[in-house]
Chains A and B, each alone.
Chain A
Amino acid sequence: MWIITIVYFSIGLFNIMFAWFGMICFLAPMLMSIFGKDKAFCNSYCGRGQLFTLLGHDRRLSINKELPSFLKSKWFRYGFLLFFMVMFVNMLFTTWAVFSGSGSLNESLKLLWTFDLPWKWANRAGESFPLWAVQFAYGFYSLMLTSLVIGLLSMLIFKPRSWCVYCPIGTATQMICKIREGERL
């Protein structure tokens, strides 16, 4: 699965519409945790987790520092989940603005919601897609790329799968499992 992660980010850089496939990584874990597969996605299928293990553990690229305790705290984990959800909704609003015609298409990839990436490789596959779908792809790919960069940095400095501690999807799926079992969050 880690190969798919690399392929996803590579192709996405050249054809932005490919970003839509990333929705699988959003929906699959959620559906799995809702329909009784618990955290099977994190445990077995997450390409990102596998990539971090491969680079940090097998290839020994990680310094393996201990993760600071505030990054492990529930407040930070749930806060980070909330932050990502707000950013996701914000992206949906931008998509809606383009759809309704009140906003113009912003064809740039943003890293950490601030920095425009210096290159413009990513382009649309022809004009066959509606503009809102293109806007969503740009926003979604930026979100995925930002989280990958944060994940890679934490892989290098802290333990390889440190991203998993505050991964919004991981936190959300664990939350769903806890709610289902009536456990305290």
Chain B
Amino acid sequence: MKRKKAKVLREDCVACGACVKVCPVDAITVYKGIFAEVDPIMCIGCTKCATICPASAITMEIPEWA
């Protein structure tokens, strides 16, 4: 089964780091203080980051390569 993964909308991200803290597999980092980045290979699609993101900048999508 293809699993949905977290994807960050860079334009909307405020780089607050709320998602980094809730990620159970440490798949998220904040790139140079500008936007958060999700490692799609590590992401388990738990949606915790998408739920906590105050700017709703994280969506759950099936990656193109999946």
Point out residues on A near B: beta carbons under 8 Å.
33, 38-40, 42-44, 49, 53, 57, 66-67, 72, 77, 158-165, 170-171, 173-174, 176-178, 180-181, 183
Residues of B within 8 A of A57 (CB): 22, 52
Is A160 in contact with B52, judged by CB distance below 8 angstroms?
Answer: yes
Q: Which listed residue, B20, B34, B56, touches A183 by the CB 8 Å rule?
A: B34
Is B3 close to A, CB under 8 A?
Answer: no
Residues of B within 8 A of A173 (CB): 33
Q: Which listed residue, B12, B16, B30, touches A161 by the CB 8 Å rule?
A: B16
Taking A66-B56, A177-B33 as given, write out 10 further A-B residue pairs in contact, using a Cβ cutoff of 8 Å, ordered by the A residue number.
A38-B15, A39-B15, A39-B17, A39-B30, A44-B17, A57-B22, A160-B52, A161-B54, A165-B16, A174-B33
Q: How large is the interface on B (under 10, 10 to 19, 20 to 34, 35 or more residues)?
A: 10 to 19
Is B53 close to A, CB under 8 A?
Answer: yes
Judged by DSSP, the binding face of A is: helix
Is B16 in contact with A170, judged by CB distance below 8 angstroms?
Answer: yes
Point out residues on B near A: beta carbons under 8 Å.
12, 14-18, 20-22, 30, 32-34, 52-56
Is A38 in contact with B33, judged by CB distance below 8 angstroms?
Answer: yes
A174: nearest chain-B partner, CB-CB:
B15
Bound form: Cα–Cα A38–B16 in Å? 11
Q: Which listed residue, A40, A165, A181, touches B54 by the CB 8 Å rule?
A: A165
Residues of A within 8 A of B56 (CB): 66-67, 72
Bound form: Cα–Cα A39–B12 in Å? 16
28 A–B contacts from the bound complex (CB under 8 Å): A38-B15, A38-B32, A39-B16, A39-B17, A42-B17, A43-B15, A43-B30, A44-B17, A49-B16, A53-B18, A57-B22, A66-B56, A67-B55, A67-B56, A72-B55, A72-B56, A77-B14, A158-B54, A160-B52, A161-B54, A162-B54, A163-B54, A164-B18, A165-B16, A174-B34, A176-B33, A177-B34, A178-B34
